[in-house]
Structure 1
Amino acid sequence: MSTITVRDAKIEDAARILEIYAYYVEHTVISFEWDVPSLEEFENRMRDIMKKYPYLVIERDGKIEGYAYAHPFVGRAAYDWSSELTIYLDHDARKGGLGRRLYEELADRLKKMGILNLYACIGYPQVEDEYLTKNSAEFHAHLGFELVGTFHNCGYKFDRWYDMVWMEKIIGEPHAGQPAVKSYSEIKE
């Protein structure tokens, strides 16, 4: 039986995390990035996210099999209670429940921070092809996300146009006098 662990990512994990991400940049439209970032750039991205939000990895028997993190939605103070999520699993580790476990732990941490709304921006094919399927949108729907918008022909990669969908999951109750969102470091203490 495998041992599955979810933990906070460390900068020292960046090389493995980047290895996972590079597959999606080079072979899919799951990421609309065209070029794999350098390790230094990727480490800087991780540091920026970790200033306020959780950045998690999931390990199976001590090997990182995926990662997920939250980041600002839009980036204005009025949107502090909303967060965009990102998740990637090693391309050989999909369909085994790791993504669900990782996302559920991420959502639990975000809820403790005071986040109310979760968003996912997902590449969506008009016709499935070798670069993009509807699996990501289906995964999010299975976890309770609802489709809230479609942007048509807004992403271009591998000489093809793709749609982008936004999905939303409400995890908290908005009200007047809403307390400020805490940083992740505050709820870990």
Structure 2
Amino acid sequence: MNTVTFEEITIDDIQEVREIYNYYVMNSTISFHTEELNMDQMRESVLNKNPKFKSCLIKEYQEMVGYVLLAPYKNKQAYDVSAEVTIYLKPDYLGQGIGSKAIAFIEGTAREQGFHTLIATICMENARSIKLFEKNGYEQCALFKEVGYKFGRRLDIGSFQKIL
């Protein structure tokens, strides 16, 4: 029996999704936001009007443990074959293989939607996320030095890409 399942995010899920995201806003460099998102901002962030892009809860034994997004990479037509992948898990669920299951799920969804390339944008301090994506076949394709500033530190981001 598969204990990890995925369900499309609805408006009723936004508060719980927001709590997960805002934890990382306030406690890490995983998110480059420096202030918590309100409900409207979170709704805009995760609910895409284009049905090609997906926002899904990650559940383990029917408990919501995180979420995964397949979002536009850039807002220009030639990029329509590419999407950005984002995964956030509650801290207690890190390191249990759930992230890899979320990647496999969202890659299947991306293939169904006709995407060719997936990109994850990761703060280079986030070794756990880098390891997760590399383990699942993503390769670093770009490095942007000192593009962020949070908690008194200048931060680099990397782009990690997988051709489907």
Same fold flag (TM > 0.5): yes
Between Structure 1 and Structure 2, the one with more strand by share is 2
| Contact kept in structure 2, 1:148 and 1:168, CA below 8 Å | yes
1:116 Cα deviation (Å)?
A: 0.3
| 1:95 corresponds to 2:88 | no
Partner in structure 2 of residue 129 of structure 1: none
* CA root-mean-square deviation: 1.6
Pairing partner for 2:150 from 157, 173, 176: 157
| Contact kept in structure 2, 1:17 and 1:67, CA below 8 Å | yes
1:51 Cα deviation (Å)?
A: 4.3
- Give the length in aligned residue pairs: 164
Q: TM-score scaled to structure 1, two decimals?
A: 0.82
Unaligned runs of 5+ in 1: 126-132, 172-189
Partner in structure 2 of residue 60 of structure 1: 60
Kindly, what percent of the aligned residue pairs are identical? Answer: 29
Unaligned runs of 5+ in 2: none
Partner in structure 2 of residue 168 of structure 1: 161
CA distance in 2, matches of 1:95, 1:26: 21
| Contact kept in structure 2, 1:49 and 1:71, CA below 8 Å | no
The CA deviation string for residues 18-67 of structure 1, in whole angstroms up to 9 with x for no partner, is: 11111100000000011111012212332336643111111122221010
The CA deviation string for residues 49-91 of structure 1, in whole angstroms up to 9 with x for no partner, is: 6643111111122221010111111211011001111110001
Partner in structure 1 of residue 72 of structure 2: 72
1:149 Cα deviation (Å)?
A: 1.1
SS at the partner of 1:96? coil
| 1:146 corresponds to 2:139 | yes
Higher relative contact order (CA 8 A, sep 6+): 1
Q: TM-score scaled to structure 2, two decimals?
A: 0.93
Closer/same/farther in 2, CA of residues 102 and 49 from structure 1, 3 Å limit: farther
